[in-house]
Amino acid sequence: MVNNTSNLSTSYTDNILKFLSPTQLDQLEQKQYSVNFNKGENIFKQGAPMPHIIVIKSGLAKVYLEDGTNRNIILRIIKPGEIIGGPGFFTDYKHHFTVTALEDTVANYIGMDDFKSFLMNNPDFAIELIAYLNKAHISLYDKFKIITHKHMNGRLASTLVYLSDSIYNSLDFETSLTRQDIADMSSMTKESAIRILKDFKTSGIIECTNNHFLINDKQALLSILQNG
């Protein structure tokens, strides 16, 4: 059965905001606002000012680095309940990556001053946010290790395992990612990604038609990731 996140949404109990106090949650309800984004629209742009912290309420978004050419590096996919801030928070207050909706997405905007107040007046929330950010950094370090030390087969195997385990929670899934997106996640050209997907399909490791993927042999993918 295909697992699609298109209808996923979240509430405060699903994410790190559950560590806010009841008073802070009331303040949040009164001050935050929601914005609807169509598939393909930028939620924010690399280099732009950072006046808000954003929580994805529903949909999916991709986080990527732009290098001034047509080559991007997709760092990760953002699911409902996740906070989007970045290293600009408490530093230069600029966005250091671009976030674009992969499907119709609703984002909640929290003012920077309000978010600072939540942190300064709620140690439990501050500690949980640090842990949340550290986990994201660990995942990012692991991704860069794969990009720099693995061959293309290993990098693409890593992308498929990530999508299956961390985004769609299924071996059988429909994705909003294009072949170019999959290539950008794997640090390779679109042509190379298409070729390796075809090789995986010919070997019986996966089935893929358009945006539908079925992983037939996850152990083989893990072996390619480990040894590739």
Q: What is the pLDDT of residues 23-66, one digit of tens each?
A: 999 999 899 999 999 999 999 999 999 999 999 999 999 999 98
Cβ distance 128 to 136 under 8 Å? Answer: no
Q: How confident is the model at residue 3 (pLDDT cuts 50, 70, 90)?
A: very low
When the pLDDT of each residue in the chain is averaged and rounded to a whole number, the result is 90
Residue 84: name the closest of 44, 53, 42 by CA.
53
In the chain the beta strands, taken as DSSP E runs, fall at 33-37, 42-44, 52-58, 61-66, 72-78, 83-84, 98-101, 105-111, 172-174, 206-209, 212-215
Q: How confident is the model at residue 5 (pLDDT cuts 50, 70, 90)?
A: very low
Average pLDDT over residues 114-137: 93
Write the CATH number of the domain with boundaries 12-146: 2.60.120.10
User: What's the pLDDT tens digit per position in 96-119?
Assistant: 999 999 999 999 999 999 999 999
Its pTM stands at 0.87
CATH topology of domain 150-227: Arc Repressor Mutant, subunit A (1.10.10)
* Domains of the chain by residue range: 12-146, 150-227
Per-residue pLDDT, 190: 95
